[in-house]
């Protein structure tokens, strides 16, 4: 158990819908990262927050947005969902901004039908 | 266009032998590299890293080698154990700690 929690574990929805994925970082960790893992693909870095502010942006679509709240939990919002958005979405946290101190959550599996 | 490639989707090794997982990259600006291990139904776990100022980094049974001229890195696991069976991802960044690009992963099976 990494100490990072993600809810829900599984999510099934339809094209065109909007969903919110939630991540609670490890206690004391200031940085949160979001990743997408599509079928047969490697992890794709989406976005990083540090203490409430956006720190780095990766391959995040305009239909996707994220935020980190004052209590440091983070939400990833996916809208106008397409079939290709079906993937595992991982959240990770680290005490600093360093990825080599990153701890991953178990992921949320999103299925878009 | 994949900037980080792991050309072997899977690898099987006998317990006690050496496992060598390979990773190639195309972006010469990458200067920091990591390996992650992932078990089914769990998130990835950081394993080992190397910066471009080094050509080798060792941590117990795990050693990462970097060949900058060939844009190639490899992860050696010696001796391999059944518990090492997992998917291994390499990742690279052009700026330490930022915007990592991951490879597609190699599934390692260590046979008892």
Q: Taking CB atoms and an 8 Å cutoff, what residues of chain B touch A57?
A: 99
Q: Quote the CA–CA distance of A34 and A46 in Å, as a whole number.
A: 5
Q: Which of A102-111, B1-10, B67-76 has the lowest mean pLDDT?
A: B1-10
pLDDT for position A83: 95
pLDDT for position B1: 66
Q: Taking CB atoms and an 8 Å cutoff, what residues of chain A touch B49?
A: 100
pLDDT for position A40: 65
CB contact under 8 A, B99 and A99: no
DSSP helix/strand/coil, A42: coil
CA distances from B71 to B5, B29, B37, B74 (A): 11, 10, 21, 10
CB contact under 8 A, B4 and A44: no
pLDDT for position A47: 93
Report the percent of chain A where pLDDT is more than 70: 97
φ and ψ at residue A30, rounded to 5 degrees: -95, -20
B 39-98 residues inside an 8 A Cβ radius of A: 41-46, 49, 89, 91, 93, 97-98
Q: Quote the CA–CA distance of B77 and A73 in Å, as a whole number.
A: 36
**Mind listing the pLDDT tens digit for each residue in A41-83?**
778 889 999 999 998 888 899 999 999 999 999 999 999 999 9
Of B49, B97, B104, Cβ closest to residue A97:
B97
Q: What angle do CA B47, B25, B51 make, to 5 degrees?
A: 50
CB contact under 8 A, B41 and A102: no
Q: Quote the CA–CA distance of B83 and A78 in Å, as a whole number.
A: 36
Strand partners, A23: A6, A74
**Mind listing the pLDDT tens digit for each residue in B31-83?**
999 999 999 888 899 899 999 999 999 999 999 999 999 999 999 999 999 99
CB of A32 less than 8 A from some CB of B: no
Are the CB atoms for B96 and B52 separated by under 8 Å?
no
Report the mean per-residue pLDDT for chain A: 92
B 4-33 residues inside an 8 A Cβ radius of A: 4, 6
Tokens of residue A17, six digits: 């819908």
The number of beta carbons lying within 10 Å of the beta carbon of residue B87 is 19
Are the CB atoms for A76 and A23 separated by under 8 Å?
yes
């Amino acid at each position: 158990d990494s100490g990072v929690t993600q809810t829900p574990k599984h999510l099934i929805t339809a094209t065109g819908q909007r969903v919110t994925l939630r991540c609670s970082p490890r206690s004391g960790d200031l940085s949160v990262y979001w990743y997408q893992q599509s079928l047969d693909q490697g992890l794709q870095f989406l976005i990083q927050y540090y203490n409430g502010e956006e720190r780095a942006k990766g391959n995040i679509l305009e239909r996707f947005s994220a935020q980190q709240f004052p209590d440091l939990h983070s939400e990833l919002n996916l809208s106008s969902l397409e079939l290709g958005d079906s993937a595992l979405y991982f959240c990770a946290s680290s005490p600093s901004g360093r990825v080599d101190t990153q701890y991953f959550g178990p992921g949320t599996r999103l299925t878009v039908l | 266009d994949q900037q980080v490639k792991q050309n072997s989707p899977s690898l099987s090794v006998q317990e006690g032998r050496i496992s060598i997982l390979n990773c190639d990259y195309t972006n010469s600006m990458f200067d920091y590299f990591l390996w992650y291990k992932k078990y089914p139904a769990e998130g990835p776990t950081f394993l080992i890293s190397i910066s471009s100022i080094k050509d080798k980094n060792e941590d117990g049974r795990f050693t990462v080698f970097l060949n900058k001229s060939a844009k190639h890195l490899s992860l050696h696991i010696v001796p391999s154990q059944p518990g090492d069976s997992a998917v291994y991802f390499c990742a690279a960044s052009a700026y330490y700690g930022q915007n990592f690009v991951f490879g597609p992963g190699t599934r390692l099976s260590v046979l008892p």
